[in-house]
Amino acid sequence: MSAGRICTRIVATTAPTETVRAAARRMADHEVGTLVVVAEEPEPHAVGVITDRDITVRGVAEELDLDHTPVSHLMSSPLRIVHESTPIEQALAIMGTTGTRRLVVTGHNERPVGILSLDDVLQLHAVEAESIGRLLGRQKPEIAAGLTAWS
């Protein structure tokens, strides 16, 4: 399975120069907790991410003026990126070695197409475990009948 298959495909963006308050409003408008920070020069490219937690811990808790503090002051950088064809196992290894819970997923021309979070991976594993559980539940009566025949 690839990162692109399970990532969240909603990519809301902000500019590094936008105020933190404006970024927070954008998060609320798009109902997301992460914005990809995109610089426009020399061509549009992702330079970081800012999360609702960054705003709370680095902005509100530090009593910064959110109406004048630029996103670049609070964003997480360097950006951790994987291509949408990257296997989940490789993406998890990157998360583990870099200590990040989110990776920006890129597609053609390195444009962001989604965000892969640890929660996305855990949800995939939960669905797979449920499927295995159903399979075992269906086979259990057959296994029990086979054991009785051998007794």
For the chain, domains (ranges, CATH) are 3-150 (3.10.580.10)
CA distance 21 to 1: 37
Give pLDDT, residue 123. Answer: 86
Provide φ and ψ at 23, rounded to 5°: -65, -40
Q: For residue range 10-58, what is the model confidence (pLDDT) as tens digits? A: 789 999 999 999 999 999 999 999 999 988 887 778 889 999 999 999 9
pLDDT band at 145 (very low <50, low <70, confident <90, very high): low
Give pLDDT, residue 149. Answer: 55
Nearest residue to 58 via CA among 24, 26, 11, 105: 24
| pLDDT at residue 9 is higher than 90 | no
CA distance 114 to 15: 17
Provide φ and ψ at 104, rounded to 5°: -80, 130
Return all residues near 101 (Cβ < 8 A) that are at least 6 apart: 95, 117, 118, 119
Q: For residue range 102-141, what is the model confidence (pLDDT) as tens digits? A: 999 988 877 888 999 888 888 877 877 777 777 777 776 6
Helix-strand-coil split of the chain, %, nearest 5: 50, 25, 25
